[in-house]
Amino acid sequence: MIVTIDGPAGAGKSTVAKALAHRLGFAYLDTGAMYRAVALAALQRGVDWTQPEALAHLAHQIQIDFQNDRVFLDGQDVTEAIRDWQITQITPYVADNPQVRRRLIQLQRHWARGRNIVTEGRDQGTLAFPEAECKFFLTASPEERARRRLRELQARGLSATFEQVLADQQRRDQEDANRPFGRLARAPDAVEVATDGLSIDEVVDRLAELVRQRQQKSSVRNMNLHHPEHKVNFMNL
């Protein structure tokens, strides 16, 4: 089964997706980390990230792996390095590049093959896995998202003001919303979950319950498909 979680920066996707995957015993895929890994590779190899062709070529050469929630770029553990401020500045060039996006979606589908996964990003329910059985769109108010981000930065020992974080978030929201290919959008069949005022556990409980309901429905549907004599109106299940 494929569970997709999309939403804007700061909506709590990563924390929720990781916890949900853990709860369900599914694998977890952080697709934002893949865009960040391409940005890091460009920086390390001196590739001009403002040149779309050069970036696309690079995306086809590198290897990105995930093991136990760690991210590897050509065998090197880059889990912390891809969170660097400079990488965050370069990543929009990667995310805006349609050829790179196509390549990364190809890798995401390949990675998902034969697995139960929770995948998280901006385009997972729309472009990468339009056939996913279970889709979520996580939101929160801009102020709540900025407060969470500020707490996260402070926990990492970094200093910023609420106003700076809010302004940076608005810029990222604009970038995510206006990207011609792969822009942030709620898939029509995604369940929207507003996370304001909810704890991580409450959000995960809610999502896990919805996934279980979908799992039950699809197992009943499969049973009916395999036993035509028991054919009931499975379309309405």
The residues binding ligand DC (CB under 6 A) are 9, 31-32, 35-36, 91-92, 95, 121-123, 176, 182
Q: Which residues contact 208 (CB under 8 A, 6 or more apart)?
A: 20, 23, 24
Name which of 36 and 103 has its Cβ closer to ligand DC. 36
For residue 111, the minimal CB distance to ligand DC (Å) is 13
What residue has token string 């460009």? 42
Query: What is the C-alpha separation between 143 and 150, in angstroms, rounded?
Result: 10
Query: What is the C-alpha separation between 55 and 43, in angstroms, rounded?
Result: 11
Name which of 50 and 213 has its Cβ closer to ligand DC. 50
Name which of 64 and 95 has its Cβ closer to ligand DC. 95
Q: Count the neighbouring beta carbons within 10 Å of the beta carbon of residue 178.
A: 10
For residue 36, the minimal CB distance to ligand DC (Å) is 5
The phi and psi torsions of 116 (rounded to 5 degrees) equal: -90, 125
What residue has token string 């599914």? 26
Name which of 64 and 176 has its Cβ closer to ligand DC. 176
Q: Which residues contact 81 (CB under 8 A, 6 or more apart)?
A: 40, 87
Name which of 31 and 139 has its Cβ closer to ligand DC. 31
Strands 2-6 and 117-121: parallel
Name which of 152 and 196 has its Cβ closer to ligand DC. 152
Strands 70-73 and 76-77: antiparallel
For residue 82, the minimal CB distance to ligand DC (Å) is 8
For residue 31, the minimal CB distance to ligand DC (Å) is 4
For residue 138, the minimal CB distance to ligand DC (Å) is 11
Amino acid, single-letter form, for residue 159 = S
For residue 229, the minimal CB distance to ligand DC (Å) is 44
Q: Count the neighbouring beta carbons within 10 Å of the beta carbon of residue 237.
A: 11
Kindly state the helix (H) or strand (E) to which residue 233 belongs, with its residue range.
none
